[in-house]
Chains A and B, each alone.
Chain A
Amino acid sequence: MLSYLLLALLVLTIAAYYAGLAKARAFAAATGHHKSHHSLAGYHGAFVAAWAGIPSFLLVVLWLLFQGPVVDQLLIVSLPVERLQDLDAGQLNLLVSEIKSVAKGNIFGTPDEVVLAAAERYNSWNGIASWAMVASALSLTVVALFVARSMLAPRFRARNHVESITTVLMITCSLIAILTTVGIVTSLLYETMRFFSMVSPLEFFFGLNWEPQIAMRSDQVTAGGAFGAIPVYVGTLLIAVIAMLVATPIGLYSAIYLTEYASDGLRAVVKPLLEILAGIPTVVYGFFAVLTVAPAMREFGELLGFSIAPNSALAAGGVMGIMLIPFISSLSDDALNAVPQSLRDGSYGLGATKGETITRVLLPAALPGIMGGILLAVSRAIGETMIVVMAAGIIAALTLNPFEPVTTVTVQIVTLLIGDTEFDNPKTLAAFALGLVLFIATLVLNVIALTIVRRYREQYD
């Protein structure tokens, strides 16, 4: 039905365009001379079409977004009070989902009278709501069409009106970026607050024991599971440090060689290859870690006589380091290129070798830019998900041994939420608390890094 409604709206909008166009042409023909009216006929058409189409389309979108929650609320309110007593949020959710599934016709066993009646109400309300949406959207379109058409006149500034509408649309689009951030922050904050109402923040930030996966019965919501996230943070940092130890020297030296020594031919070959490295999806890196790197490390360790876990921090961090090489190298490249030629000339003029110029003049001058790049890479490393989900551990062990498995914030978020959508226990809510920590950490790192890089650029601009 929705697709028919949208189709009908589209047809009406097109009709509105032609209605406006026809009216504008009619008075253009009547007045004879084209300069006597303000806007081109097309703008009159667009004006009518915009008023006919946009408000009713918005109405439909909002209706669709809020029909579900509103009908759910009505449903809960309509349930008999005695049925709602002694139900906690989780059980209420369960009851509502049961009613919904009965309403869809998936009846398992014999549901009780209350559920059957509620399901019937639910269906009828949804039906009423859908028809009300169709009726109101269509009537809104038709009314807007006629009102807008009646406004047309030879001196009517249709172009200005259409351009105002376009401007409003563009501003709305620009606000989506803000709304996204607001959405991220509020949803993370809201679920984190709920988490902290069940688990003390003190435990979450300073506890040393992370065991969220313990199966929980409904009567021991907070009894089971330990949510001390320190081991998770330590694991995240360990893997990030390993990744940076791999990526920074390789990336930095590559950048130095490419900007200062390499011939144009070599640059033309190596740079795109590094870009390929940057364009590979992280799930591929994760599989590469599992398929090649971890077994190779294990065998190498056996050769040396010590055991390396198959999901060691070393394997995950090392592969993440490979992923970050192009990132570091291109940011260092930018930083080195931003150093003005005059500094180089000054150094060469004193008889310095290329190497001396690089280590004594260019690197110190480019250091803020390079540091900024490294911070950005660290932020990427702690936010990176797929490599660690596939190659790092799930158990949170508090260790700094790179040969042991550790877990990370992102791994925990994914494992806690895969296959689980009930937002009523600390296990799933913990993922949002971790998400908030991750969001804040990466945001702070990025802001610092971008500030450093910007200051550095300004210095040479």
Chain B
Amino acid sequence: MTEISADPIRVTHNWGSNEARRRVKARYTADRRLQFYGIAAIGTAMALLAVLFTSLIHAGIAAFTTTKVELDIFLDPAQIDREKPAKANYRKLVRGAFKSYFPDVKSRSQERQLYGIMSNGADYILRDYVVGNTDKIGQTVKILVPVSDPFDQLYKRIIPRRIDALSIDRIALFNALRQQGVLSVVDGSGVVRTTVYVDPGKVPSEGGLEAADYDAMVKEGLRSLFLKEYSRSYEEIVSDAAAGKLKALVAADPSLVGKTIDVDLPLAANYDNLLQTGQATMRNPRFSSDDEFVWFDSLEARGLIANPFSWELFFNADSRFPELAGLMGALSGSFLALLVCFLLSFPIGIATAVYLEEFAPKNRITDIIEVNINNLAAVPSVVFGLLGLALFLNTFGMPRSAPLVGGMVLALMTLPTIIVATRAALKAVPPSIREAALGVGASKQQVTMHHVLPLAMPGILTGTIIGLAQALGETAPLLLIGMNAFIPSIENIGLTQPAMALPTQIFSWADSPERGFVSRTSAAILVLLGFLIVMNLIAVYLRSKLERKW
């Protein structure tokens, strides 16, 4: 240090030089670059949020209406017993009414396809209608029943009638084959003539011809057809039956092993379609014949198809059929679980927070409790599910899938949120209020009950609502205690009855293969988000309107 001060070098800097100006400019560029990164980051986050919401709304909006067909049904007193209206054969009535629209449909298989347009639940809808309106027996009534899922999706333009069977490079692949002249139609189905080496190396010593890898032989043969590598998509050109055909040939003539043979392998359906019709599209496999489109179009032309608001989405129980599945079971289950959660976590959370904040002596035990609460807030939710499963279900033998147990687990998870919020709200009450009350001779508990808690209540309620909103969206712990039971009726609703919750309903619908469940799931999510938004708005309102600023 002394050396430096002993040798004072004056650094002069010419701020006006070009060099210096350039440097300043570069520094500003760096600044702008950082700003740009910031804007890009925020832009990305906002864009992702937008994509999330648009894709959910786009997919979910369709589920808020249900495509229905109008039926004229004569409620034949000969078939419906007025005393026991629930017992009649409504399937027959519904089908009869539907069939009357298409008098020229005769064959059994065609009839089956025709009835497939209607939802499976049509008979129950009629039954429920008749049970509720026994005075209508003997009259002809107009009743709307939902169409089955594929037609619902078709009417809403979610799925097309025809789908692209082949992508552009697959069509190129097909054209390459056609130029080689190996494609032909034999007995009404398209085949590709392929040279196959029946490789003895692929015939295992154990199992023999039966266990040979014909699939690999077919693939080898197909590869030889192509000079150019078309990734591996050339393997899809033959149908699944190709290996079987080869196997049958070899089984019929075991001497073929070790030889190279030409064999006509059956084309896959989409290539077959392209070869025979010249079209690169095919009928959507969700529909079983083109007749169905004709019938459906005719219903539409006659004005019998309607697309009203789907009350079913809110008031039906769960169902395996997407057009009938509703959220009533999930909503009631979530409501009950949240009720239990609130009744437990609200008083316990407030009592804990009040004790720690207002009464507890500062010692090791209260320190441990505090650390504990902070750590509980960070325990993964699935661990709470494990606790519920091991303790509530296994040790205490409480009922599985019940909102009571779900609510208890959620209460344990919500407790830290409520405790933290309550303590913050209690801290915000100025000490002068406490002193004033103590000064007139109120006991500590009277101070808390009469003054501090009422003043902290808006903050506590805000925290509680936020905690309950989190609990409403919580899924994993409910899965573990079985609150994803399939409950196709809403007759048995109770704290100890098996139930579903809104998020677990979303989970199980998301897992279902039917196309209609995609929009059902999105719609359920929109309902869930709607509830969350309302709860958060209430919390924001409470915070802004009722919370005092001291």
Chain A positions near chain B (C-beta within 8 angstroms): 65, 68-69, 72, 159, 163, 166-167, 169-171, 173-178, 180-181, 183-184, 187-188, 190-191, 249-254, 256-258, 261-262, 270, 273-274, 276-277, 279-284, 286-288, 290-292, 305, 322, 325-326, 329, 353-356, 358-359, 376, 379, 382-386, 389-390, 410, 413-414, 417-419, 421, 423, 431-432, 435, 438-439, 442-443, 446-447, 450
Cβ B473 vs Cβ A283 within 8 A: yes
B203 at interface, CB cutoff 8 A? no
Within the assembled complex, what's the spacing in Å between the Cα atoms of A376 and B380? 12
Cβ B46 vs Cβ A273 within 8 A: yes
B 369-403 contacts with A by CB, 8 A? 369, 372-376, 378-387, 389-391, 393-397, 400
Cβ B380 vs Cβ A291 within 8 A: no
Cβ A284 vs Cβ B506 within 8 A: yes
- Total count of chain B residues near the partner, CB < 8 A: 92
Identify the closest chain A residue to B387 (Cβ).
A184
Cβ A439 vs Cβ B379 within 8 A: yes
* A177/B352 contact (C-beta < 8 A), A385-B475, A410-B380 known: yes
Q: Which of B31, B48, B416 contacts A322 (CB 8 A)?
A: B48
In the assembled complex, the CB of B75 is this many whole angstroms from the nearest CB of chain A, namely 38
Residues of B near A72 (CB, < 8 A) are 397
Within the assembled complex, what's the spacing in Å between the Cα atoms of A449 and B357? 25
Helix, strand, loop or mixed for chain B's interface?
A: helix
Within the assembled complex, what's the spacing in Å between the Cα atoms of A419 and B508? 13
Identify the closest chain B residue to A305 (Cβ).
B231
Q: Which of A69, A171, A383, A418 contacts B479 (CB 8 A)?
A: A418
Within the assembled complex, what's the spacing in Å between the Cα atoms of A290 and B512? 12
B215 at interface, CB cutoff 8 A? no
In the assembled complex, the CB of A189 is this many whole angstroms from the nearest CB of chain B, namely 10
Cβ A281 vs Cβ B52 within 8 A: no
Stretch from B37-45, B188-196, B265-273 that touches the partner: B37-45
Q: Which of A254, A279, A419 contacts B41 (CB 8 A)?
A: A254
B274 at interface, CB cutoff 8 A? no
Residues of A near B406 (CB, < 8 A) are none
Residues of A near B27 (CB, < 8 A) are 353, 355-356
Within the assembled complex, what's the spacing in Å between the Cα atoms of A421 and B31? 59
Q: Which of B348, B386, B445 contacts A435 (CB 8 A)?
A: B386
Within the assembled complex, what's the spacing in Å between the Cα atoms of A325 and B475? 21
Interface flags for B520-538 (1: CB within 8 Å of A; 0: not) read 0110010011001000100
Within the assembled complex, what's the spacing in Å between the Cα atoms of A408 and B124? 43
Residues of B near A447 (CB, < 8 A) are 375
- A-B Cβ contacts below 8 A, count: 265
* A355/B31 contact (C-beta < 8 A), A280-B52, A282-B475, A421-B394 known: yes
Cβ B389 vs Cβ A276 within 8 A: no
* A414/B45 contact (C-beta < 8 A), A169-B351, A261-B35, A287-B522 known: no
B356 at interface, CB cutoff 8 A? yes
Cβ A358 vs Cβ B386 within 8 A: no
Residues of A near B415 (CB, < 8 A) are 176-177, 180
Residues of A near B113 (CB, < 8 A) are none
B 29-78 contacts with A by CB, 8 A? 30-35, 37-42, 44-46, 48-49, 51-52, 55-56, 59
B428 at interface, CB cutoff 8 A? no
B461 at interface, CB cutoff 8 A? no
Cβ A257 vs Cβ B55 within 8 A: no
Within the assembled complex, what's the spacing in Å between the Cα atoms of A286 and B35? 32
Cβ B372 vs Cβ A178 within 8 A: yes
Can you add 8 more A-B contacts, CB < 8 Å, to A284-B528, A291-B518, A353-B30?
A65-B396, A69-B397, A177-B419, A249-B41, A250-B44, A281-B472, A282-B476, A286-B510
B102 at interface, CB cutoff 8 A? no
Cβ B42 vs Cβ A270 within 8 A: yes
Cβ B45 vs Cβ A291 within 8 A: no
* A279/B42 contact (C-beta < 8 A), A173-B348, A438-B383, A439-B383 known: no
Task: List the 3 shortest-distance A-B pairs measured between CB atoms, nearest first.
Answer: A257-B38, A281-B473, A383-B380
Interface flags for B534-550 (1: CB within 8 Å of A; 0: not) read 00100000000000000
Residues of B near A283 (CB, < 8 A) are 473, 475, 503, 506-507, 510, 525
Cβ B476 vs Cβ A389 within 8 A: yes
* A421/B400 contact (C-beta < 8 A), A69-B395, A174-B351, A176-B415 known: yes
Cβ B507 vs Cβ A390 within 8 A: yes
* A183/B55 contact (C-beta < 8 A), A173-B355, A290-B510 known: no
Within the assembled complex, what's the spacing in Å between the Cα atoms of A435 and B388? 13
Within the assembled complex, what's the spacing in Å between the Cα atoms of A17 and B389? 39
Cβ A176 vs Cβ B352 within 8 A: yes
Identify the closest chain B residue to A261 (Cβ).
B35
* A279/B480 contact (C-beta < 8 A), A249-B41, A423-B394 known: no
Cβ A383 vs Cβ B382 within 8 A: yes
Identify the closest chain B residue to A359 (Cβ).
B34
Q: Which of A159, A385, A435 contacts B443 (CB 8 A)?
A: A159
Within the assembled complex, what's the spacing in Å between the Cα atoms of A403 and B59? 26
